[in-house]
Chain A
């Protein structure tokens, strides 16, 4: 929430500083259809005063909808690996992608990056429920998410097409959560955020998939009956088709 306020403030304050950042995305709705195997979007933009005396850096962050994550640790108890301890991380983005013009530690100090939630290691959950030190659990969660391709950092992956035009491609893998995503573009000068823009991106199921999902969740009883009917019907058809003399 604080981050959002900051972004809003910056957007409002931007014209006053004569520091114009304009950005857009190639599509603002991604529809998951029956043959969806992942796609990518292009985030592009322009900065008005291309090269100042203190350089310029662009950071693009794509944040998925907030979700809760449970991290469990297994211990070796009586010869068997058993879930022994757990921590719950509340309000973590389900997807996170960061692209920048150069490595983050060369762009801004860690405290600023944490304030804006830029960079996987600077992400903090809204709340942590844990009996013990949550640090190893948090690290394990990030490790898993990076391995599964849900959290990605791509420093140096923003292309400048001219002095002022930039572009980067953000992958949207097949297994991403549905919901509202935010595409944030930050302009840094001399280690400071001088301008930022946030654009929503919606990822949702569509067509038959959408209807089936809604059907399963809105009228589960009828859906369940339909599933059972399908099983009985297919079972019956197969017994008739392959009927053999007893």
Chain B
């Protein structure tokens, strides 16, 4: 049965949308991420206008991270101080991102910048995860305990505004977490992603937070940021389609449960290897779109550019 989306102003098949939700939910449940980086390109590929895809994906990520954050909260696995500090940076980043979004749209370079950012981001995160998971797998097979690589933290020790993060057992400057929050807030506004797949590695490798609080903390931060960004997208760009969002969330909830079950049967490094492959596949697809000769070098957009 076809369903008419009131804001996107187009008809879609509800099975396709629920299916997309299940797929993305599966990935997000499996890896503990929001899955926005998959959903936005998939929606655009299906023909949803890119502004609506970005805005509506944010509402989907909000729901996914509310669900995840509540589960983590019951386990007391959230560092609220850290989430708060990152949120301050995140709000500034979001405001900056929304401003940048408007400028790029006026220049007609929106799609290019979004694609290039995606390729760089997914390419680098994917490669790091691939190398890390492969070396862990190799180490596990040869029976050694995997050596955790430490990032040089000397530069961080010299920064001012130190603060104690009890839950993470850290005493560090607030600037690096704010910087991470800023970057991810900005990317979220532009790309319609929560940023979990960047934030989790950044928290582990840069801030050296204990792994057990990383997922809960990042979800709390993402939940707040995406809720605010959804609101901004709805008021500034009329870009949130409530019917599309609802269908995606329902599919996503089902997919996430399946994903969590499957994830329980796999080891951490195997999961990271799979995620690396998913990320690199999306990256390769976007890269191909940038360098391949388009079928028609002319493109047409109706209404306001």
Chain A residues with a Cβ under 8 A of chain B:
32-38, 67-76, 79-83, 86, 88, 94, 136-137, 140-141, 143-145, 174-175, 177-178, 205, 208-210, 212-213, 216-217, 220-221, 223-228, 230-232, 234-236, 238-239, 241-244, 246
Contacts and interface: CB of A to CB of B under 8 A. Distances in A.
Q: Is the interface of B mostly helix, strand, loop or mixed?
A: helix
B164 interface: no
B2 A37 contact: yes
A147 to B, nearest CB: 9
Contacts of B60: 231
B270 interface: no
B142 interface: no
B297 A75 contact: yes
Nearest to B236: A220
Given A220-B235, A231-B66, A83 B300 contact: no
15 contacts: A33-B4, A35-B2, A36-B4, A69-B300, A209-B4, A210-B6, A221-B234, A221-B235, A224-B232, A224-B234, A225-B231, A228-B59, A231-B227, A235-B63, A238-B67
Contacts of B257: 238, 242
Interface of B: 1-4, 6-7, 9-11, 59-60, 62-68, 70-71, 74-75, 108-109, 111-112, 116, 227, 230-235, 238, 240, 242-243, 245-246, 249-250, 253, 256-257, 290-294, 296-305
Contacts, number: 187
A221 B238 CA distance: 10
A140 B296 CA distance: 9
Given A88-B305, A231-B59, A226 B242 contact: yes
A228 to B, nearest CB: 5
A38 B1 CA distance: 13
A137 B298 contact: yes
Contacts of A86: 108
Contacts of A82: 109, 112
A141 B300 contact: yes
Contact of B302 (A33, A67, A230): A67
B71 A239 contact: yes
Contacts of A67: 302-303
Given A213-B6, A231-B60, A232-B227, A140 B300 contact: yes
Those 8 A-B pairs whose CB atoms lie nearest each other, nearest first: A235-B66, A224-B234, A140-B298, A231-B62, A235-B63, A238-B253, A212-B6, A231-B63
B245 A70 contact: no
Contacts of B1: 35
B297 A73 contact: yes
B238 A216 contact: yes
B249 A234 contact: yes
Contacts of B302: 67-69, 94, 177
Contacts of B4: 32-36, 205, 209
